[in-house]
Structure 1
Amino acid sequence: MPREFDFEFDLLRELTEARGVPGYEDDVREVVRREFAESVDRVRSDAMGNVVGTIEGDSDYSVAVAAHMDEIGFMVRHVTDEGFVQVDPLGGFDARVLRAQRVTVHGDEDLTGVIGSVPPHTLTEEQQEKDDEVKDVFIDLGRDAETVAELVGVGDLVTLDQTTTRMGDRITGKALDDRICLFAILESARRIEDPNVTVHFAATVQEEVGLRGAQALGVDIDPDLAVALDVTVANDVPQVGDAADAVTELGEGTAVKLKDSSVITSPKVHSRLTEVAEAEGIDHQHEVLPAGGTDTAGFQNTAGAKPVGAISIPTRYLHTVTETADGGDVEATIDLLTAFLESETGDHDYTL
């Protein structure tokens, strides 16, 4: 029988099922503001839509903790004379997973649509050999061309449809990247009381299109230390035969990031994260991600030579609507982030 989670699953489901593509994170932002209102000392937003909830500490030393609100999606680029919708991607899609998916087109009203897939036995040999590309996607809204033209236009947004559900002790759905980490920072903000340092919990925008929100935010809040939370690859599946390519494993705990393609985390920061995990008996693993970037790099690129660290939640099937994480890994992530922040005094020397 599945066990009880030590966190509020209904809030996690609300966050992951909300819609919010890069630059249009409004629905997620509303949830974040609501949750911050009960747990932090002050909340503010900036011109890009980043939301920062601050808990004031006993010193001027400050730590930024970031997780992004946006999910991959699309923007309408054309409506054909026949009423089919063509799109431009907002974020990195593997077009192979888009066949036969259900979507919502956010036009004058929300419209359910499907990405059609031509039956394989009617494909020509040339069509069978052609690689899938997002530019070749056509969304069928089940309405006549005149109705579609009235309701949908260039610039309207499109999101993939999926609910979030439990699968044993695992959680599966869309937008776990990165709402499951956004959930972790909201949960940590609720648990922390009277920190020694000021903590800025940041819900960032536009990560999926180039870490843009974090880059602007790094300048605005100018932290002494930054820690980002994001999902990471868990290729612990039969299709990936080499264990070295798994990166992380579900159920083995939270992941302390050592590197990805955008950042090499500060050695003294990831060492202290590891020490805290060991001292607190928190299950953890180390992450070396060969490809993919996170908000961690945004702080180091724009806010100067800041020490940075990152905590990741291992997740299977990234950038699909069946992203899957382990409930125990989520608990470990919340526990490590909270313990790390509560033990931060501002006296640790992270310089090299």
Structure 2
Amino acid sequence: MDHTLDGSGLLRDLTEAHGPVGYEDAVRELAVAELDGSTDRVRTDAMGNVVGSIEGRSAPDFELLVAAHVDEVGFMISHVDDDGFLRLDALGGWNPEVLRAQRVRVHADGGADPVDGVLGAVPAHVRDDDEPLSVGELAVDVGLPAEAARDRVSVGDPVTLRAPTERLGRCIAGKALDDRAGVWTLLRAAERADPAVTVHFCATTQEEVGLRGARALGADLDPDLALAVDGTLERGVPGVDEADRVTELGAGVGVKRKDATVVPTPTVVEWLETLAADRDIPTQPEVASNIGTDTGALQTAAGATPVGALSVPVRYHHSPVETAHVRDLRATAELVTAGVDADPADLRGVVER
């Protein structure tokens, strides 16, 4: 497995793959291929979730679930107009202001070749600064007249952004680092792990529209302990007050205390922070009010389940230039691996306290 963090290798393949909500096939195939080489068995379910399981060496009856979601925010074609322009409905949450003048890809139904297009921009000469913008007002130009456009694409086809993954100084920038960064850390941990307990490495679907894949998965597996790895907000940019920045790029893996969907189990939070301190893994506390993660679904899907959440700080969330720091990526992968390889007695102590 190539874990190079220079804009090439597996992380690039994950981020540049197209996997909009509900249509995660390309990313799922990457996850299956990687997990097939590092776990005892791999399976998928009706939601498209991928589960790679390693049977525990000495305590296989204790089951740990580690999850990261493979879907990315995108769109679905809602109409092809008489001029050949495509109108859109959102798959996940967007700030429409970041979408002007972006390149997109339409994933045509039935395995047909994808169709590339652009989201148009309003020239400065005629722009109304007070004009509001919504996703419904955007139009994709595929450079074809209406009849030809309708031959190539259809209402209901999913659409994603097209963007390269590049090394920027000490960071990686590209689309879908939320949450392909988390998937990368999960796959790295699966390759390096030698767990005493049974571990399920899970690539989940449809997180961006209500944690749906994780909710189904948690009910099917019913683990003793669940951890989710996701991207979180990092807003250390000009014009944002320090109190509103949530996390800091380069300060380490975020250990979540709260978000809009979950308050992680305090004993699990304490265990993760102790584990990191013992191994000199940099961490930072995370409190977020306006994002959600799979952790919230996993906590209650099968009754009451102890949960924890680890976060990769991601700047410019839900945009074609999402940015993560190499130090944070490595720290997250190290802490996930440490958790997976933890002593069974420690794990039992965490969930039984």
Matched, 1:110 2:109: no
- Paired residues for 1:54-203 under 5 Å: 54-57=53-56, 58-59=58-59, 60-107=61-108, 108-123=112-127, 127-193=128-194, 195-203=195-203
Q: Percent identity?
A: 50
Deviations 1:23-52 (A, max 9, x none): 110001110110011100010100110000
Do the aligned partners of residues 261 and 79 (structure 1) sit closer, same or farther apart at CA in structure 2, a change above 3 Å counting? same
Aligned equivalents of 1:81 and 1:128: distance in 2? 28
Aligned equivalents of 2:89 and 2:272: distance in 1? 39
- Paired residues for 1:201-212 under 5 Å: 201-212=201-212
Deviations 1:321-343 (A, max 9, x none): 10000001101001111112211
Aligned equivalents of 1:26 and 1:53: distance in 2? 16
Of 4-13 and 35-44, deviating more is 4-13
Matched, 1:26 2:25: yes
Aligned equivalents of 1:199 and 1:106: distance in 2? 34
Considering only aligned residues, what root-mean-square deviation do their CA atoms show, in Å? 1.5
For the 8 Å contact 1:55–1:199, the answer to whether it is kept is yes
- 1:113 deviates by 0.7
SS in 2 for 1:129: coil
SS in 2 for 1:70: coil
For the 8 Å contact 2:7–2:172, the answer to whether it is kept is no
Aligned equivalents of 1:335 and 1:128: distance in 2? 46
For the 8 Å contact 1:70–1:207, the answer to whether it is kept is yes
For the 8 Å contact 1:51–1:203, the answer to whether it is kept is yes
Aligned to 2:351: 350
Aligned to 1:313: 312
Aligned equivalents of 2:122 and 2:294: distance in 1? 39
- Paired residues for 1:194-343 under 5 Å: 195-240=195-240, 242-343=241-342
- 1:8 deviates by 9.4
Aligned equivalents of 1:68 and 1:160: distance in 2? 18
For the 8 Å contact 1:5–1:327, the answer to whether it is kept is no
For the 8 Å contact 2:63–2:224, the answer to whether it is kept is yes
Letter matched to residue 156 of structure 1: D
Letter matched to residue 111 of structure 1: V
Do the aligned partners of residues 8 and 83 (structure 1) sit closer, same or farther apart at CA in structure 2, a change above 3 Å counting? closer
Letter matched to residue 199 of structure 1: V
- 1:181 deviates by 0.5
Structure 1: which 5+ residue stretches go unaligned? none
Per the normalisation by structure 1, the TM-score is 0.95
- 1:344 deviates by 3.9
Per the normalisation by structure 2, the TM-score is 0.95
Length, aligned pairs only: 344
Do the aligned partners of residues 8 and 101 (structure 1) sit closer, same or farther apart at CA in structure 2, a change above 3 Å counting? closer
Deviations 1:174-210 (A, max 9, x none): 00000010010000000012x1210000000000000
